[in-house]
Chain A
């Protein structure tokens, strides 16, 4: 390997991107080559500094804002809404341009039919009066092919037109002409034209050509010209037949171009036409004008006859139909509607031809409709004419010029009449299968069945539609089929773990999918008579709320399993006053519940004493930082680092800090260092880097080793785990870890767990760890939360005042029918465990408070004792703490001191006899082995004699960390704690109610079925106004208000 090769790969080598053989090769080279070593030395710091710069300045935990997310969601829901994408892009110009294009195309499309219609609607023009030939106005003109026209013109008009020549030309033309005509009229139904031709011819002869050329002095078409028999595809219809023939003639004539004889034949024709009179005008027109009538049928079957303008013939130029291509001179060949019908009759209704037909048909129909009587008669009558027998009569009539007379006028009404008349002459065979609805045949007016052809078409359409449906279904199915490789494998379920909603969809870095939460169910109502004791261990974790907030900030509802009501409730500060004496103080308040129908909400608070500075013990903290690859996101390791920096700043100089990092292996990064040595600690924190997998087992082992080695007797020894919870743990390893945690806890090394990051997040594992380790479990998703946990709550986090703290609430069955605890589902203890001091329960830190809520259904008759309620001033506003009406309560029963309390011990230190119970004894009968102490130190009833019995007694039992002594305190919940109306209760009571209900809704508790987020928001709004200093309340209100619009994510 030479230097060039090596130098080119130095970056990859330094980054570790090369595979082993290459790396080895480079290393060998570097050993020998100083120059390359120098290059490497130059590059390394650049890489370091680059990474540092990138890492330090990366925005933490960025997510799409809810607005953007919503747009993405909308876009993916409606696949075809391209406009929205552009709008979202914010390109109004594009949208405007597209809109203009669309509108323009639309307008043009709208105009097209209008244009063609106007073209098609050829105006009638008259034969000049002098011609003596009444005009036959038709609605269609025949377009003359330009080429044809040129040829004709060029062909000129010979002078030697004579009948024979004409006839010859006529005859000779018949061979070629049919081709052209066939092409042009291929669509037309065939029909024997003879009669029509004759009819028209004769009509023409009689002075009214069916086709009006507008040329005076049209000669009569020689009879031979008429029935050019034998053409199979001769279009039916009178005029058209005529025209067609003529056209054929001319076509034939033209096809003979440029031979002079043709021209002469044309001249002959002309003369002939002149002789024949106006009736033959068309020929003359053709001849004279050199106009070829090629019936060109365009796609819509329109016919246009450009007016002939340049003919030297004396015929005045016919009225031009507008709009006409200027280059085509033509004569408008006015065609009878019959012709049109005949031509288009074969078409299915609804086509252009059909529409035109309909127009015509509409005309007589319109005529007929006002005359309702004759109309129905006429219509059925009309078909009757279409039989062979009538044809002769028609012909006769035509011969008699009836048609001609009818068509003399110009106005449309007459035209319509003539149309009708003409129409009536169409023999049956010439027309399409006769349908009675011929007039206006685009719709079956009277509900009669569509003619067979239409039915066929309908069937075809139906088949097509069916096929399309099938295809659509197929395509839909194919879309639904996975387009890519199969879904991520279903999550590996840990023992007892359940998946959160949608957890299966999110792939995990560590082959596990989705956040994992353990569903714990919802506490049911318990009957106070059957089960008066509610015992649970104190839990001051708040991770569930932070986690849920994280989801909601991203626009999703959290998975129901992730929501724990007690953690929601305990996230907020209820401003309990700390106890003046003793370690804890119990608060209780109850009021009608806003959410429970006819139920009361009982709020119990336990506030711990805040240790003074001098009372705080020296801490020996071992940070166990997860530096696996999954922590590499900015909202994980870097957040952890910032959190640690925050924490270290707040430590007292005597506190000691050690850092252990673990990924695939565990490594001691910093041995126990006094917090005063900030630089060293900061450097160690900064030096944490991510890679590898998560070997929690080894990490825990190492951390506990370090903690044990630096154990501070009488101090706070704690391992603080910062992890995103993704641990490759087998069940065996998990059990080992938990066992280790318990072992150390027993010896006084506690564990606090801090979860980081979202997504592949093992909440259950982390919480279990914390529980076992007597530690708190908090979820840190932002710097703000880090500040709250490590700065504001630091004392609580690090200084426990009591361990194994449990609460027991004993309900009075005489007053309480049923009760339900909100939350603490997985903290429930048996009632015997309350006094069992070996049972591990929660720990309470300095200054911490715990709040528990119950929904209580009062027993019948046990509800209201107005007397009692009136005695104590109702609590209004403010904090319950100050308004507590039993100022002496806590003190009357001083905390039990000394030794372990055995079961049922009374207060040895109480002044002699316990004050007599007021308001009735409160004992549970038939309690079995459980000897329930009589009420100790129950306060004198403020309400005087005969006051109601307390509804419950709250007891707290804990082990003091200071001396390891176990204490128990209790307090009855009486009428004095009651507030008459929910709205009269303190703001924090209502806050607790709102939060709890919010959590209940989020976890889809069946008891919250009747409430919605709006109800919660309604309760919280006044609370937020009152507690405006607490940003968390405002945030909660915002979440509650926004929650209605969210859906559950993963």
Chain B
């Protein structure tokens, strides 16, 4: 299955979660280092703002370590838990910071691909297309967007996505398919229009 390499982390998700003394710090660093990039990317997608993503992912880790430190027991499927909590945190963050959406869009426009030396400026055309696609992706419903991101960008398996979203695998597959179909139709319309 594609994305299996990324997803293979799942097997190691229920890893050392003992908390005490020196080990705690090191294991914390381990977990953080292992997941921070993916979670930052995922949160960045939802928030469309990497700076806010930093805050969100930080809080996710804080939550994780507090709950573990308080003896909440092992977190099975750490990866799913992390994605789920990240998603919730990000969504909450978006709701709370609605006024920052203006800044988000500003940032977005600033991260358009640069065109160096005038060469490879086919990149600009590509960049526009990509922005269009991402725009359409954001127009999907929350759940659809989440599943699409988890499958296509994060590379989680259906089982993992099911764990993250709390749905069955079949359901996840259906949602994914319909989302892609929807996107396909919209993109076609958009391209036809432009």
Contact = CB atoms under 8 A, between A and B. Distances in A.
A1049 B33 CA distance: 10
A506 B33 contact: yes
B19 A57 contact: no
A998 B48 CA distance: 39
Given A42-B184, A479-B71, A50 B152 contact: yes
Contacts of B158: 17
B163 interface: no
A649 B117 CA distance: 10
A54 interface: yes
Interface in A481-502: 481-488, 502
A76 B25 contact: yes
A690 B6 CA distance: 10
Interface residues of A, number: 83
B142 interface: no
B106 to A, nearest CB: 16
A868 B33 CA distance: 56
A629 B4 contact: yes
A487 B16 CA distance: 4
A61 B74 CA distance: 29
A1050 interface: yes
B187 A59 contact: no
A1047 interface: yes
B130 A73 contact: no
Contacts, number: 237
A17 B66 contact: no
Interface string A56-88: 111101111100110111011101001001001
A46 B187 contact: yes
Interface stretch (A239-247, A520-528, A630-638, A739-747): A630-638
B20 A479 contact: yes
Interface string A27-68: 000000000000000110111011111111111011111001
A88 B62 contact: yes
A632 B14 contact: no
B152 A63 contact: no
A509 B50 CA distance: 26
A682 interface: yes
Given A12-B176, A53-B129, A1050-B29, A59 B40 contact: yes
Contacts of B180: 11, 43, 46-47, 50
B102 to A, nearest CB: 19
A129 interface: no
B50 A62 contact: yes
A478 B71 CA distance: 9
A483 B152 contact: no
A509 B120 contact: no
A853 B121 CA distance: 46
The listed residue with most B CB atoms (<10 A of its CB), out of A62, A475, A478, A481, is A62
Given A75-B62, A75-B65, A481 B18 contact: yes
A43 B181 contact: yes
Given A12-B173, A72-B58, A50 B32 contact: no
A10 interface: yes
Interface in A801-844: none
B22 to A, nearest CB: 10
Contact of B59 (A69, A89, A480): A89
Interface string A293-306: 00000000000000
A900 interface: no
A62 B34 contact: no
Given A76-B69, A480-B20, A692-B5, A502 B126 contact: no
Contacts of B21: 480
Given A47-B180, A507-B12, A56 B126 contact: yes
A279 to B, nearest CB: 65
Given A15-B151, A51-B152, A485-B14, A79 B70 contact: yes
Contacts of B59: 85, 88-89
A172 interface: no
Contacts of A50: 133, 137, 148, 152, 180, 183
A49 B129 contact: yes
Contact of B19 (A475, A480, A634): A480
A323 interface: no
A939 B132 CA distance: 71
Contacts of A483: 17-19, 68, 71, 73-74
Contacts of A632: 5-6, 155
The listed residue with most B CB atoms (<10 A of its CB), out of A10, A478, A480, A484, is A484
A62 B37 contact: yes
Give the 3 A-B CB pairs with smallest separation, nearest first. A629-B5, A484-B74, A79-B69
Given A72-B28, A482-B17, 5 more contacts: A64-B57, A480-B18, A483-B73, A632-B5, A759-B33
Interface of B: 1-2, 4-6, 8-9, 12, 14-21, 24-30, 32-34, 36-37, 40-41, 44-45, 50, 53-55, 57-59, 61-63, 65-66, 68-71, 73-76, 111, 113, 117, 119-120, 126-127, 129-131, 133-134, 137, 148-149, 151-153, 155, 158, 173-174, 176-177, 180-181, 183-184, 187-188
Interface of A: 8-12, 15-17, 42-43, 45-47, 49-59, 61-65, 68-69, 71-73, 75-77, 79, 82, 85, 88-90, 475-476, 478-488, 502, 505-507, 509, 554, 556, 628-630, 632-635, 645, 649, 678, 682, 690-693, 758-759, 1047, 1049-1050
22 contacts: A46-B180, A46-B184, A50-B183, A53-B130, A56-B126, A56-B127, A62-B36, A62-B40, A62-B44, A64-B58, A76-B28, A76-B65, A77-B25, A79-B69, A480-B20, A483-B74, A484-B17, A488-B15, A505-B16, A682-B120, A759-B33, A1049-B29
